[in-house]
Amino acid sequence: MDRNKFPAFRILVAKCGLDGHDRGARTIALALRDVGMEVIYTGLHQTPEKVVNAALQEDVDAIGISILSGAHMHILPRVQKLMQDNGLQDVLLFGGGVIPPDDAESLQALGMGRLFPPGTSVLSIVEYLNAELNKRKPKRGESHG
């Protein structure tokens, strides 16, 4: 992937709850970094509160939550509510992991970004983030005008 093709958006990648498997999250974090995005990886066992606090401190453009534990219907809406409560409505919340299609539809109906199942190509995630974030705000260092 060409580093110059993608702007330096700031992406926070997190693992919430007791899920101890972070191979996918680390793979995505490295892929995003490799195309020139700035990545903050919070590591395992984060609470929704810690994730949103990190997003505030790091001034991120997007938060990606990886969930394999089955707690997606609790964790993702909680993160979204905390984001709204803290003025992060312009930050994209997206995710990935083992999320049944019906649950993914319900979560997206709440206004979340795409939810990527296992096996999704890294390139499709990068292209989605690039397209979605370019719609939301200018590249770092550029003005809105």
Residues with pLDDT less than 70, the chain: 1-7, 137-145
What is the reported pLDDT for 18? Answer: 80
Number of H helices, E strands in the chain: 5, 5
Residue with tokens 């260092």: 141
Architecture of the CATH domain 3-136: 3-Layer(aba) Sandwich (3.40)
Residue 143: its pLDDT value, please?
47
Which residue's structure tokens are 């649950």? 103
SS (H, E, C) the chain: CCHHHCCCCEEEEEEECCCCCCHHHHHHHHHHHHCCCEEEECCCCECHHHHHHHHHHHCCCEEEEEECCCCHHHHHHHHHHHHHHCCCCCCEEEEEECCCHHHHHHHHHCCCCCEECCCCCHHHHHHHHHHHHHHHCCCCCCCCC
Quick: pLDDT tens for 22-39.
Answer: 888 999 999 999 999 999
**Two tokens at 119?**
């096996």
pTM given for the model: 0.90
| Location of structure tokens 């401190």 | 57
Residue 7: its pLDDT value, please? 65
**What six digits make up the tokens of 4?**
């110059």
